[in-house]
Amino acid sequence: MVLTEDPNSELMSGLVDSVKEISMLPECRNVCKKMHGNLVRRIKLLSPLFEELKDNNEELSEEETKGFELLRTALDSAKELLKLVFEGSKVYQTLQRDHIADKFNQITEKIEAALSEIPYNKLNLSEEVQEQIELVHAQFRRAKGSPELQDPQLEVDLAIAQREKEPDPAILKRLSEKLHLRTIDDLKKESLAFHELAIASGGDPGDWFKKMSSLFKKLKDHVQMANPEADCSEAEKVMMKHRSPVIPDDFRCPISLELMKDPVIISTGQTYERSCIQKWLDAGHKTCPKTQQTLLHTALTPNYVLKSLIALWCESNSVELPKQPGACTSKNVRSSISYCDRAAIATLLDKLANGNLEQQRSAAGELRLLAKRNVDNRVCIAEAGAIPLLVELLSSTDPRTQEHAVTALLNLSINDINKGTIVNAGAIPDIVDVLKNGSMEARENAAATLFSLSVVDENKVAIGAAGAIPALIKLLCDGTPRGKKDAATAIFNLSIYQGNKARAVKAGIVPPLMRLLKDAGGGMVDEALAILAILASHQEGKVAIGQASPIPVLMEVISTGYPRNRENAAAILWSLCTVDSQQLKLARQFGAEEALKELSESGTDRAKRKAGSILELLQGVDAIVTQS
């Protein structure tokens, strides 16, 4: 290597900075503590390698640069995951611990793969650093694919806490310690993370939200009962008994300065008590009272996160929160939309129908946000007649307008009645066209919209007939990580209909699925296996999968994968072996009998059945050989 001004110094500096940032991350204190700590510890040990190469100031070859570039990408992914685990909901991570563990394993595999690309023997390293990096690499290699040992006590406590209405306080105490939800402050942070998850889900978070909510409430009640004055000094405890609690400024309405009961967000992003800001608007004001900015519209959006935090604060400080006057019920959704909300929506629809390009883009963007925020908005927007106008904008030549339109339809489609309205407006061909020709964001959201619509069985047929599947496969191949997930989810749901299985196979879906399946660090193994399992129930699917040399990777998943993946891999293997004895023989060569016996004892119920069926097939082959 020639001594010169190092063109790779930026790369090495970036790697040094990445390790420093990861080293400075706060300690994780939840069920992911061990995985989080192990990953941080191993990454820290890479620092001497980067420091020495940075100090050497030597030019790297193309081969060496490639390895370090891969490593930088892997460390960026690691940093993102570590932050997510530290900042995210502890209850969610506990209930989804297998999924989180899978993510840590994927990151470990990425780092190990990158380290394998670096030719250490060609680098000018000191003997000490050379030995250390080889040891670190060996640690990553051993950690790869080695699942974290489960905590039996945690498994039992969780099962009881979720099942029983009033669990034993000793169980709740163990869980609060394990999840590090010990104080009122811990509960506040968890509540914020909890509700951010709900909002990120688009307002319809599904069954897992109910499980989280139930478990969190039990833990919260336990902590507040066991330690009502947590985190307070003795002096503070004495004072607490003789004074009223001070209302945090963020919980006060900027107009009335009183504790907010029904906080709402206006177009400038400021939050006010609904009744106060409504009076301000009714008086004819067109500006934000706090910032004096001109309001883009007068729609009021409930601030659910703040409302939840206020409720939690009231509970912990024994403050009674008065009930909202005139609270609406789900039977009268329209009454919950204020006149100003409906008027604002009507104004936006007029811009969609009659405005210039800029006005249409802006109006579609506003409707997109309003439709995302809550159930009532989705009903009101649809009833006002927005859906046909948004469908027309799917053909807009302006990429941003098209993105807004398809995303607004996606958010509206969360409502089951709106699904029918969208399909009846002739949206499916236009959504498929966006999926084929739109920007990447538009394509991703078009795929998500097709998935949402495909929940209705008859829509699966129409979407498949409109040519969506080849476009979804293309997004699966060249999309962003999020785009690939959206495409895979849509393909899986569409393939429940038998006719779409054939369409997917003819469109060439099997080779890209096999590539995703073999790329353990790509984060798409779960989805690839799920789709292959459903395609394997179709004759053409079996043939195509059989031609893709699937046995080695299927046996690897059955031997070392996670429970759901092992189940799907066994289902695929069973489908192949029932029609092709060669696949059965090949599976035996890759250690099928031992792996399947273990699966038949420790797998899911379905996995056990499939493993038992394949073992019977293997025994049948043995019997034929013996007789001959």
In whole angstroms, what is the distance from residue 487 CA to residue 447 CA? 6
* Prediction pTM value: 0.50
Judge if 81 and 116 occupy the same domain: yes
Residue 216 shares a structural domain with residue 273: no
**288 in any annotated domain:** yes
Host H or E run for residue 302? strand 301-302
Residue 166 inside a domain? The answer is: yes
Residues 33 and 158 in one domain: no
Same domain, yes or no: 47 and 125: yes
Residue with tokens 């709106």: 418
Give residue 324's pLDDT. 52
Place of tokens 């039996």: 152
* Inter-residue contact 265 to 155 (CB < 8 Å): no
H or E segment and range at residue 271: strand 271-273
Q: Tell me, what amino acid is at 387?
A: I
pLDDT of residue 323: 54
**Does one domain contain both 24 and 107?**
yes
Which residue, of 291, 317, 343, is where some domain finishes? 317
Q: Does the residue 572 lie in any domain? A: no
* pLDDT at position 563: 87
| DSSP state, residue 227 | -
* Number of continuous H segments (helices) and E segments (strands) in the chain: 34, 3
Question: Please, what's the b/e burial string for 111-120 (b: 16 or more CB within 10 A of its CB; e: otherwise)?
Answer: bbbbbeebee
Largest separation between any pair of C-alpha atoms in the chain: 96
Last residue of a domain, which of 95, 125, 143?
143
Close Cβ partners of 356 (under 8 Å, ≥ 6 residues apart)? none
Whether 179 and 117 map to the same domain: the answer is no
Q: What is the pLDDT of residue 145?
A: 65
CA angle 55, 56, 57 (to 5 degrees): 90
- The CATH number for 257's domain is 3.30.40.10
Distance CA 141, CA 120 (A): 16
Residues 189 and 282 in one domain: no
38 and 113 in one domain? yes
Whether 404 is covered by a domain: the verdict is: no
Please indicate, yes or no, if residue 562 is contained in any of the structural domains: no
Q: Which residue has the tokens 């999309």?
A: 479
Distances in whole angstroms, Cα of residue 484 to Cα of each of 405, 451, 493: 21, 13, 14
Contact, 506 vs 540, CB < 8 A?
yes
> Quick one: 57 and 90 in the same domain?
yes
Residues 6+ apart with CB under 8 A from 316: 184, 187, 224, 228
Q: Are both 124 and 26 inside the same structural domain?
A: yes
Reported as a single tens digit per residue, the pLDDT across 113-166 is 988 888 877 888 888 788 888 888 888 888 876 656 567 777 787 888 888 878
Residue 403 lies in a domain: no
In DSSP notation, 159-193 reads HHHHH-SS--HHHHHHHHHHTT--SHHHHHHHHHH
- Sequence-distant (6+) residues with CB within 8 A of 98 are 562, 563
Residues 6 or more apart whose Cβ sits within 8 Å of residue 445? 403, 406, 407, 410, 486
Please say whether the beta carbons of 378 and 411 come within 8 A.
yes
Q: Are 6 and 63 in contact (CB under 8 A)?
A: no
Same domain, 277 and 312: yes
How many structural domains are present in the chain?
3
Range(s) of the domain holding residue 17: 7-143
Residues 4, 58: Cα–Cα separation, whole Å: 6
Mean pLDDT for back-to-back runs of 10 residues, the chain (628 residues): 51 86 83 86 87 79 85 90 84 82 89 88 80 85 70 78 81 84 78 66 56 80 64 40 61 81 86 87 82 81 76 73 45 39 83 91 90 81 92 94 94 89 94 95 93 88 94 94 89 90 95 92 88 92 93 92 89 90 88 90 88 87 53
Q: Is residue 507 part of a domain?
A: no
In angstroms, rounded to a whole number, what is the distance separating the alpha carbons of residues 301 and 345? Answer: 13
Which residue's entry shows tokens 């177009």? Answer: 267
DSSP single-letter state for residue 295: P
Q: Is residue 84 part of a domain?
A: yes
| Same domain, residue pair 123 and 173 | no
